[in-house]
Structure 1
Amino acid sequence: MLAMGAVFRSLRTRNYRIWAAGALVSNIGTWMQRAAQDWLVLTQLTEQNAAAVGMVMALQFGPQLLLLPWTGLVADRLPLRKVLLWTQTISGLLALGLGILTLGGWVQLWQVYLFAALLGCSAAFDAPARQIFVAELVSEAELPNAVSLNATSFNLARLVGPAVAGLVIATLGTGWAFVVNGLSFVAVLAALLCLRTADLHLQPRAGRRPGALLEGLRLVWQRPDLRAMAIMLFLLGTFGLNFPIFISTMAVQAFHADAKGYGLLSSIMAVGTVSGALLAAGRQ
């Protein structure tokens, strides 16, 4: 059995504890939006068109690849806390905007495409900054545990968020799931503002020089461990992360489920990942 003190040891650090609480609330809202967005496209804006759901996914996650040279540059050069304040604010406003359109009955498919692309651009700058920012919240000795707890938080939100989204959609309507997500960003913004900047473990920043991106790609390819990890992530991202399409279409077409059933089906996916992240957090 894992000792709870070892699994959650990073939470003893005040800055990380505040960040983790705010991030968990925001992550739950994010997973609510993803579930509600797919449900909106599949059941309200199209006649169960899985290709439209796939297009939304492509527009939301494509920018993370297309903007790679610039997102890494921003994370390397600019203060990470300020970057996160901007990206989280933009993402929250976009979620509220989509919620207002949906509640007002004005939402159209092209608008969902547009909001998905804009959210994808914001997330593209947010993701590297958020991952590196963890290193500024804890000491080097606690960093592996903090990274694992970050993964636990993300997947715990993935366990809770879709189920809550299903209940919200069934009782209040799809638009309210987007509004709740928009409001959830207040938690992470408050957490960022409450951090003690004097306690941050600031990391050395990358120097400005030409060819840095190509140099980084060469480094990854020359190291067998990094190369294997990159190939594995490419294969998983390409063939494994399209589960929202299968889950949403199976829920509607195969199981004839309502929004609550769809949300529960989406949440069950996270049980294994939460368990794995907790096991990783307990390792030294």
Structure 2
Amino acid sequence: MNPTTRLAAVLGWPIGHSRSPQIMNAAFAALGIDAVLVAIGVPPDGLAAAVAGLRAQGALGASVTIPHKLSVVALCDEVSEAARMIGAVNCLHIIGERLIGHNTDEGGFIDGLHAAGFVSRAPRAVLLGAGGAARAVAYALRAGTVDVIARRPDEVTWTRARPWSDEQLRAAFGLADLVVDCTSLGLGGADEIAVTDALPLDALPREAWVATLVYHRATRLLERALDLGRPTLDGRAMLVHQAARAFGIWTGQAAPIEIMTKSLDDDLRAG
């Protein structure tokens, strides 16, 4: 860094797992932009102070991750339509004295999906889970039909959810062009194998895709889908493409997707 270097940050708690610095700094370097993104661990009660500090420094902005995507909305002077509809912000852009909140998760998901070869612009999609990630993915897929299946459907307030039962899953899967796991199953909990193996993936049409938002490990869901000959997509695509959208917001330039993807893959291989 030097006195002219522009600062950006990724804010979360904890933050050690974040791959954003590697991805974004590779993009800055590739385009010769004098900027750096740093990871800052921010506990919930320190979010307002951290954002105020970035504003005072005239930073480019910040990526925002768990657990701050909802609470940071109240700190923004303005939010994009996507952020308003989803109810969450994952990208902050500082323009002068104004703080603009964006949600690039939804655009990143659809960009990554289409870049991987998924062609439908109005798919029949089934989302497993109804948390914040599902809400962003549902908004991304709003041009089509979205069925949300949840363990506790009566507690879902942002959409009408179906109960997680074999009957409902099989009926929804039978009509699906795309299934997206938005739950934490793929993180490798004790119930991953049992719950995933109970999913009726055999009911999916042959052309249906299966996706997960997990990017750091192979998941049982994608392993099963591949065994059944279904196209699959893991969470690396969404991670890179949401970062690419943030890069464009901050710099006004097209992001070097291939370089960002290689940076992520290299970092994941390094452990």
TM-score range, shorter chain: under 0.3
Q: Going by fraction, where is helix more abundant, 1 or 2?
A: 1
Q: Larger relative contact order (C-alpha < 8 A, sep ≥ 6)?
A: 1
TM-score normalised over the length of structure 1: 0.23
Higher strand share: 2
